[in-house]
Amino acid sequence: MKIVSYSIRDDEMPALKEWQAQHPDVEVQIEHELLTPESAAKAQGADGVVVYQQLPYDRATLQALHDAGINKMSLRNVGTDNIDMAAAKELGFQITNVSVYSPNAIAEHAAWLMGRLLRREPEYTAKINRHDLRWAPEIGREMRMQTVGVIGTGHIGRVLIDILKGFGAKIVCYDVFKNPELEKEGVYVDNLADLYQQADIVTVHVPSLKENIHMINDDSIAQMKDGVIIINVARGDLVDTDALIRGLDSGKVRAAGLDVYEKEVGVFNEDWEGKAFPDQRLENLLNRKNVIITPHTAFYTETAVKNMVQISHNCNVQLIKGEKADNLVKLD
Q: Which residues bind ligand COI (CB under 6 A)?
A: 52, 77-79, 296, 299
CB of 267 to ligand COI, least distance (A): 13
Catalytic residue, candidates 76, 109, 158, 296:
296
Q: How far apart are CA 75 and CA 73, in angstroms?
A: 7
* 264 given a catalytic annotation: yes
Residue whose CB is less far from ligand COI, 62 or 305: 305
* 158 given a catalytic annotation: no
Q: How far apart are CA 252 and CA 248, in angstroms?
A: 6
CB of 79 to ligand COI, least distance (A): 3
Residue whose CB is less far from ligand COI, 68 or 85: 85
Q: Give the residue among 323, 298, 289, 286 at the shortest CA–CA distance from 48.
A: 323
Catalytic residue, candidates 155, 205, 264, 313:
264
CB of 223 to ligand COI, least distance (A): 27
Residue whose CB is less far from ligand COI, 111 or 260: 260
Q: Give the residue among 70, 28, 26, 25 at the shortest CA–CA distance from 45.
A: 70
**Share of the chain residues as helix, strand and coil, in percent rounded to the nearest 5:** 40, 15, 45
Catalytic residue, candidates 158, 235, 254, 313:
235
Q: Under a CB-based contact definition with an 8 Å cutoff, are residues 30 and 5 in contact?
A: yes
Residue whose CB is less far from ligand COI, 77 or 94: 77
User: With 0-12 CB in 10 A as exposed, 13-18 as middle and 19+ as buried, what is 184?
Assistant: exposed
CB of 207 to ligand COI, least distance (A): 9
* 134 given a catalytic annotation: no
State the greatest distance between any 2 C-alpha atoms of the chain, in Å, as a whole number: 66
Residues designated catalytic: 235, 264, 296
